[in-house]
């Protein structure tokens, strides 16, 4: 992420206040951004399914970062103008469904205070109510037990609290408490959350945003996470480098045995002065510490741990080098189809270089890199088609968490844009086969929507935690199979997971099996598994393609 880091919040608002101006709102945005960054991994860990898509915290953080960048140099005192700038930044930088909904909350918040100089308690209540209304209207089928519910409960609480006080500090204290209670109740409203044993991640992110503002007003620290030590067995360090921010040059992981009782609060505080993405685990008297640090600090965590006890193991990795090596073909030029004025241009979101090449061969005019844990922003999707020489655009998001960001581009361009609600690569490719660049726009959109029903999707990945869900008992590290997004099998082997999906999808009644293999599986293993599937389904047409997608060993299409 090439982003300007905000300064630490100042101490201008440390007492109760009756009004806020634009600069004080900016200060609160910095505070909420800082606190959300501190607790980013907590939000990421709340994904329902044990698959590597825990990116809600990252998406909300990047959305807030974009909002801040829009106002970073602004000296505007008019709170209405400042709020609109924040909302605009959040919209163009929105990532994932949670980020888009967050941008809509800011949009409604700003709408309530057009050109108003300062905000009092009554206006804050109106703004929270409009934020809730705008966010609900922005979702086609609102689901309770999500960030939407938390926004609604916050607005309702503020309206009730206004009857007792006009003090902004007291009002904020009340709504933060209401957000906390609302988040804890989300599993009662959304059964899948209760089944997975988690609260809603987007709602938790919104809570941290509001709590960050309150902590700043109270003069409390914003860069030390209120996190207890976790068992070593539950530490998941594989996804901590998915979004390398400025200053995160090296990853340091070390094990040490403390000389005495470890003061966790002081330990976290010292580490936060060295870097970010801090995790600490404990087991059998051994502590494991994980941290991302800038180059000049790469040895400081080791030196510090040695003052606390005996260091038994150390690992240091160059994150920037790893990120570049993970996507060696990222900058490879694709043979995209040239578009003429009046034709329909197709924009596809693709999780891997091999899949991108397939979309390009089928007629895509633009391709945006994105998928699990790497949701593109609204701005990135908009940039992919804004300069194409046509005003007819069709977007294939190919992921349920990218659809809303794609749809947000519709209001940001004068071009005619349609988003086909494809939630997987197989659905996107199926729709792609209905593309007619010179056809009638509405007819092509209808045909592509119909094509989504022609394919079954399988995804094979590794479980990131232990859980029982959809009647499947899953252990961390097992291979799991998803059928159209639903977990259907867990196994110790890739073979059995693939066959479990094929059985679940009633493959015997279908004709074609197409497999796209990922970047983290060897070609030898791919061929071995492909041969077994051919032998199990000898009468089916079978295709094997290099997909290069991360995290998922296979994406499978059935037709």
Q: What percent of the chain has pLDDT over 90?
A: 66
Q: Please tell me the CATH code under which domain 332-450 is placed.
A: 3.40.50.510
CA distance 175 to 154: 5
Instruction: Give 69-98 pLDDT, tens digit per residue.
Output: 999 999 999 999 999 999 999 999 999 999
324: pLDDT confidence band, cut at 50, 70 and 90? Answer: low
Q: How high is the pLDDT of residue 540? A: 94
Quick one: CATH architecture of 19-217?
Alpha Horseshoe (1.25)
Q: Residue 325: what pLDDT? A: 52
Look at residue 2 in the predicted model and tell me its pLDDT.
40
CATH fold of 230-325 reads Alpha-Beta Plaits (3.30.70)
Residues 6+ apart with CB under 8 A from 538: none
Q: What's residue 44's pLDDT?
A: 86
Token pair for 472: 């499947």
Listed range (160-164, 320-324, 405-409, 552-556) with the worst mean pLDDT: 320-324
How do the residues of the chain divide into helix, strand and coil, expressed in percent and rounded to 5? 45, 20, 35
Global pTM? 0.80
Q: For residues 312 and 13, which has the higher predicted lDDT (pLDDT)? A: 312
Asked if CATH classification 3.30.1180 holds for the domain at 456-558, the reply, yes or no, is yes
Two tokens, residue 317: 């990795």
Residue 523, burial from CB neighbour count under 10 angstroms (0-12, 13-18, 19+): exposed
Q: State pLDDT tens for residues 233-271.
A: 555 555 444 444 555 678 888 889 999 888 887 888 888
Burial readout 297-307 (b: 16 or more C-beta within 10 A, e: otherwise): bbebbeebbee
| Residue 328, pLDDT score | 43
pLDDT at 12: 46
Q: Specify the pLDDT at position 285.
A: 79
Comparing 148-152, 217-221, 223-227, 262-266, which segment has the lowest mean pLDDT? 223-227
In the chain, what are the domain boundaries? Answer: 19-217, 230-325, 332-450, 456-558
Q: Are 153 and 105 in contact (CB under 8 A)?
A: no
Q: Are 135 and 151 in contact (CB under 8 A)?
A: yes
Average pLDDT of the residues in 389-406 = 95
What pLDDT is stored for residue 11 in this prediction? 45
Name the least confident of 10-19, 209-218, 399-408.
Answer: 10-19
pLDDT > 70: what percent of the chain?
A: 89
Which tokens in the block code for residue 369? 């890199």
SS3 at position 261: coil
User: Is residue 556 within 8 Å of 548, Cβ to Cβ?
Assistant: no
Return the DSSP state at 72. T
CB 457 within 8 A of CB 480: no
Q: Quick check: 220 pLDDT over 50?
A: yes
pLDDT in tens, 85-137: 999 999 999 999 999 999 999 999 999 998 899 999 999 999 999 999 999 99
CA distance 201 to 204: 5
Cβ atoms of 61 and 33 closer than 8 Å? yes
Q: With bands split at pLDDT 50, 70 and 90, how would you rate the model's confidence at 196? A: confident
The reply to whether 19-217 and 332-450 are identical in fold is no
Beta strands in 209-299 (DSSP E): 230-231, 250-258, 276-283, 286-293
Average pLDDT taken over every residue of the chain: 88
Give the residue ranges of DSSP H helices in 452-522.
494-504
Question: Alpha helices of 93-200 — where are they, by DSSP H?
Answer: 96-111, 121-137, 147-161, 168-189, 191-196
Q: What is the number of other CB atoms lying within 10 angstroms of the CB of residue 114?
A: 10
Residue 508 has pLDDT above 70, yes or no: yes
The pLDDT tens digits of the residues spanning 273-286 come to 888 777 788 777 78
| Alpha helices, H only, 190-240 | 191-196, 201-217
**What one-character-per-residue DSSP string does 167-178 give?**
-HHHHHHHHHHH
Who wins on pLDDT, 285 or 227?
285
Cα angle for residues 449, 56, 200 (degrees, 5° grid): 95
pLDDT, position 1:
38
CB contact set of 445 (below 8 Å; sequence gap of 6+): 394, 418, 420
Query: What tokens appear for 485 in the block?
Result: 């997004």
């Amino acid at each position: 992420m090439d982003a300007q880091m905000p300064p630490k919040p100042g101490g201008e608002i440390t007492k109760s206040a009756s009004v806020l101006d634009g600069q004080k709102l900016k200060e609160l945005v910095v505070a909420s951004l800082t606190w959300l960054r501190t607790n980013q991994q907590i939000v990421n860990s709340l994904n329902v399914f044990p698959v590597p898509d825990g990116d809600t915290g990252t998406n909300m953080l990047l959305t807030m970062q974009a909002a801040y960048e829009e106002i970073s140099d602004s000296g505007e005192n008019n709170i209405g103008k400042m709020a609109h700038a924040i909302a605009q930044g959040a919209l163009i930088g929105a990532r994932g469904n949670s980020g888009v909904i967050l941008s809509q909350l800011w949009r409604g918040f700003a709408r309530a205070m057009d050109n108003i100089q300062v905000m009092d308690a009554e206006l804050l209540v109106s703004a929270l109510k409009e934020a809730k209304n705008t966010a609900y209207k922005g979702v086609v089928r609102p689901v309770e037990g999500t960030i939407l519910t938390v926004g609604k409960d916050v607005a309702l609480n503020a309206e009730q609290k206004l009857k007792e006080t006009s003090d902004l500090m007291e009002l904020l204290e009340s709504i933060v408490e209401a957000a906390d209670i609302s988040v804890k109740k989300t599993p009662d409203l959304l059964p899948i959350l209760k089944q997975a044993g988690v609260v809603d991640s987007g709602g938790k992110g919104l809570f941290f945003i509001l709590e960050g503002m309150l902590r700043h007003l109270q003069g409390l620290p914003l860069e030390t996470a209120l996190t207890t030590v976790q068992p070593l067995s539950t530490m998941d360090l594989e996804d901590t480098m998915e979004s390398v921010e400025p200053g995160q040059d090296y990853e340091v992981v070390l094990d040490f045995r403390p000389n005495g009782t470890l003061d966790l609060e002081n330990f976290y505080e010292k580490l936060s002065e060295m870097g970010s993405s801090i995790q600490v685990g404990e087991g059998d008297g051994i502590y494991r510490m994980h941290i991302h640090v800038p180059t000049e600090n790469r040895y400081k965590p080791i030196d510090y741990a040695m003052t606390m006890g005996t260091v038994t193991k150390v690992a240091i990795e160059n994150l920037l080098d790893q990120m570049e090596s993970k996507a060696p073909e990222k900058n490879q030029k694709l043979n995209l189809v040239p578009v003429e004025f009046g034709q329909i241009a197709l924009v596809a979101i693709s999780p891997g270089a091999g899949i991108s090449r397939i979309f390009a061969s089928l007629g895509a005019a633009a391709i945006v890199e994105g998928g699990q844990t790497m949701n593109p922003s609204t701005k990135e999707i908009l940039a992919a088609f804004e300069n194409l020489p046509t005003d007819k655009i069709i977007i294939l998001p190919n992921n349920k968490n990218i659809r809303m960001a794609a749809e947000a581009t519709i209001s940001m361009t004068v071009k005619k844009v349609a988003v086909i609600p494809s939630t997987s690569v197989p659905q996107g490719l199926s729709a792609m086969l209905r593309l007619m660049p010179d056809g009638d726009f509405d007819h092509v959109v209808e045909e592509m929507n119909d094509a989504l029903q022609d394919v079954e999707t399988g995804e094979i990945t590794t479980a990131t935690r232990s859980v029982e869900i959809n009647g499947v008992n899953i252990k961390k590290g097992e291979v799991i199979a998803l059928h159209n997004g639903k977990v259907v099998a867990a196994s110790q082997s890739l073979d059995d997971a693939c066959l479990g999906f094929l059985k679940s999808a009633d493959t015997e009644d279908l004709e074609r099996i197409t497999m796209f293999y990922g970047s983290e599986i060897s070609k030898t293993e791919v061929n071995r598994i492909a041969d077994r599937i051919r032998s199990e389904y000898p009468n089916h047409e079978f295709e094997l393609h290099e997909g290069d997608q991360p995290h998922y060993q296979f994406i499978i299409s059935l037709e």
